[in-house]
Structure 1
Amino acid sequence: MSHLEPHGSAEPRGWDRPDTPAPAPALPWPEPEIEPGQWHRGPAVLPDAYAEAPARPRPQAGMPAGGDAATSNGHRDPDDSDYPTTQLEPVRDVEPEPIPAPPPGRRQRGRRRAGLDRPPTQQSAPSRAGRNLPAAIAVGVALAALVVVPLFFYPPVFLVVVAAAVGVGIWEMARAVRRSGAHPPLVPLIAGGVLTVGLAWFSGPDALSLGLLVTVLGTMVWRLGDGPGGFQRDLTAATLIAVYVPFLGGFAALLAAAPEDGHLRVLVTLAAVVLSDTGGYAAGVNFGKHPMAPSVSPKKSWEGFAGSVTAAALGSALLLWLLLDVAPWWGALFGLAVSGAAVLGDLAESMIKRDLGVKDMSNLLPGHGGLMDRLDSILFALPTAYLLLAVFVPVLE
């Protein structure tokens, strides 16, 4: 019998081994004889050890993540590793649910898609003026009737209209300047504005200045109650609003308060402003090529300004001669001055809106924006007309 190697196997050496080879270890499945040509025929047959095991129940609450069952002592069940795919549910072909068709007679949102049998949806092109012209004309006519009818038939109602317009203008301005961080007190501004207009109507130009002073002082006292934070900023904004809206608007009350011909003075002033706006619009749309102030109002052109002053001068020369018995050349000068003031007022408000980052003061009037977008040119024209008419047609007391 041969010696065993200390680090070798316990089997004897080759000359000591028996001639009969040791039988191979038994396999868990029989090994059939497969011909070489039959290796690619038929599906592969899995051995019994890899046959599909019965489905296991789904993991319940308290089992560890991953679906492995755990024993009472926290260890994983070793049987799960033998069949790792038995916990997966078989994938079944599920047909997608059909998308319901839209009800007949209705079209989904969005523009209609163009096809061979129908053209694409046409979008309405905006006007060159940048606003809805029919709506603007309708609103303008309604505002003119609201002013002219009480002016000729019952002047005290005209005073109410002016006071209401001043109040709305103050509200729009205070609302707009809040975008810059300023918060002017609204209550004393509106109360002082109405008071300013009333004083101008009943007591003349000196009372108009007194109303402005009272409005500014009242705003200052009201604002002190909110503390010192931002006081200078808010008071500056309030003073600007008080001068811009009620003080300039009070000249309408001064014009209308003139005895005998106050309604005619207001009429020729408003007519000059309307002629200026109409002439400027017509000339600017048809001939405007050279911008007047592109950084402030890109749509205004020098051609439009020429149309404004020409229309206002010609119309005012005729109106003042017929209504107030003023020489035509003085009427033309009146129209030139009022038109220039109206354009300046329009540019001033455009600069304020551009500085505040707003397009319109509000959306109160369709086709116009806010009321201040219509009063901008009138407010600057009112003191100009008042001073010129005081020279051309002195008031007889």
Structure 2
Amino acid sequence: MATESSANTPSGEDPAPTAGSDDTTPAAEKKSRAGRNLPAAIGVGLTLGVSIILILLFAPKIWYGVVAVAFAVATWEVAKRLRDGGYQVAFWPLLIGGQAIIWSSWPWAQTGVLTAFAGTVLVLMVWMLLAQGINRAPENYLRNLAASVFVLAWLPLLASFGAQMVVQDDGAARVATLMVVVVCSDVGGYAAGVLFGKHPMAPAISPKKSWEGLGGSFVVGTIGAIGCVVFLLDTHWWVGAILGVVLVICATLGDLVESQVKRDLGIKDMGTLLPGHGGIMDRLDSLLPSAFIVWAVLTALL
């Protein structure tokens, strides 16, 4: 889960320049071109990466617990940021319903996910209606309900696909494919963006991302996907070619979505838990849509 942004440099763009944030900053205090404490980011990334590898090798079913805990923390981070931004999201239904969505995918697959998701949406509708008591009409009901449902779909619903893969045939290899391809996409995008990035891809949303970085993501991500499906999943190389291209597109768009959410809220990071990375959610932005893509492509083609 310790990944960088999928199109160029790490996610978590500064919402807007502030006085003293550019040329007036002392050289000793300036960070890398990525805008991060790179040594800390690398250290945290390697620690998380090694931990995930060990889990997948020796106790793959623990992956469910890892996903559940990660998204409990991510839900707290996002709910806090939204509340700071004026959205009254329903934290407890989101937390409990999100756990139900993730864990129900183990015994009941997508039927359990859909049932838990629909049930949580119904709870959210009633919760938001009665949050201020039956004698007082709720304020901004539609706006706050929409934000709550968005968080539910964005976090636990997409995460359930990443969790469910581990109980499929070659489950550990499928999860490893997800992680490896996203990391390859991020590394390729970061390297190409830093070395060659000159043409902004979406300057109004994420100024540091470039078309050159996206090209690097396509090249390295597709190579990583082909390698994974051939050596980990023992299947045809063209499955990896399809997976790599589609995953890079969706990972990039997922990163841009979180960048726009943070820009709307006027924040740089969703949290501060991971040094050099921000919060848990800041490392999951590209993984969320990628989890669904890997699940869908591999389920359809294997």
Is residue 2:51 matched to residue 1:180?
A: no
The corresponding residue for 2:199 is 290
The corresponding residue for 1:157 is 62
Between the two proteins, what is the percent identity of the paired residues?
Answer: 43
The corresponding residue for 1:311 is 220
Residue identity opposite 2:161 in structure 1? F
Structure with larger Rg? 1
Which structure carries more relative contact order (alpha carbon 8 Å, separation 6+)? Answer: 2
Which whole-Å deviations, capped at 9, do the CAs of 1:126-164 have from their partners, x for residues lacking one? 211110111111111122233232222223321111101
- The separation in 1 between residues aligned to 2:126 and 2:247, in whole angstroms, is 37
Pairing 1:134-173 to 2, within 5 Å after superposition: 134-173=39-78
Which whole-Å deviations, capped at 9, do the CAs of 1:340-365 have from their partners, x for residues lacking one? 11111000100111111111001111
The corresponding residue for 1:380 is 289
SS in 2 for 1:123: helix
- The separation in 1 between residues aligned to 2:222 and 2:190, in whole angstroms, is 16
- The separation in 2 between residues aligned to 1:298 and 1:311, in whole angstroms, is 22
The corresponding residue for 1:223 is 128
How far is 1:278 from its partner?
Answer: 0.3
The structure 2 residue matched to 1:192, chosen from 87, 97, 106, is 97
Query: Is the contact made by 1:269 and 1:338 (CA closer than 8 Å) also made in structure 2?
Result: no
The corresponding residue for 1:245 is 155
When the two structures are aligned, how many residues end up with a matched partner? 272
After superposition, the Cα gap between the structure-2 partners of 1:122 and 1:392, relative to the gap in structure 1 and judged at 3 Å, is closer
Residue identity opposite 1:213 in structure 2? A
Is residue 2:279 matched to residue 1:370?
A: yes
How far is 1:313 from its partner?
Answer: 0.6
Residue identity opposite 1:293 in structure 2? A
SS in 2 for 1:204: helix
Which whole-Å deviations, capped at 9, do the CAs of 1:67-97 have from their partners, x for residues lacking one? xxxxxxxxxxxxxxxxxxxxxxxxxxxxxxx
Is residue 2:256 matched to residue 1:347?
A: yes
Residue identity opposite 1:204 in structure 2? A
- The separation in 2 between residues aligned to 1:220 and 1:149, in whole angstroms, is 41
The corresponding residue for 2:17 is none
Structure with the largest fraction of helix: 2
SS in 1 for 2:209: strand
- The separation in 2 between residues aligned to 1:242 and 1:178, in whole angstroms, is 15
- The separation in 2 between residues aligned to 1:202 and 1:133, in whole angstroms, is 41
SS in 1 for 2:61: helix
Residue identity opposite 1:350 in structure 2? S
Residue identity opposite 1:245 in structure 2? L
Query: What stretches of structure 1 of length at least 5 have no aligned partner?
Result: 1-120
TM-score after normalising by structure 1: 0.66
After superposition, the Cα gap between the structure-2 partners of 1:146 and 1:194, relative to the gap in structure 1 and judged at 3 Å, is farther
- The separation in 2 between residues aligned to 1:319 and 1:229, in whole angstroms, is 50
The structure 2 residue matched to 1:257, chosen from 153, 156, 167, is 167
How far is 1:122 from its partner?
Answer: 6.2
The structure 1 residue matched to 2:266, chosen from 341, 357, 377, is 357
Residue identity opposite 2:287 in structure 1? I
Which whole-Å deviations, capped at 9, do the CAs of 1:157-195 have from their partners, x for residues lacking one? 211111011111111111111233111111111001111
- The separation in 2 between residues aligned to 1:271 and 1:336, in whole angstroms, is 14
Pairing 1:28-177 to 2, within 5 Å after superposition: 123-177=28-82
How far is 1:218 from its partner?
Answer: 1.8
SS in 1 for 2:208: strand
- The separation in 1 between residues aligned to 2:58 and 2:127, in whole angstroms, is 39
- The separation in 1 between residues aligned to 2:225 and 2:268, in whole angstroms, is 31
TM-score after normalising by structure 2: 0.87
Give RMSD over aligned pairs: 1.4
- The separation in 2 between residues aligned to 1:153 and 1:122, in whole angstroms, is 45
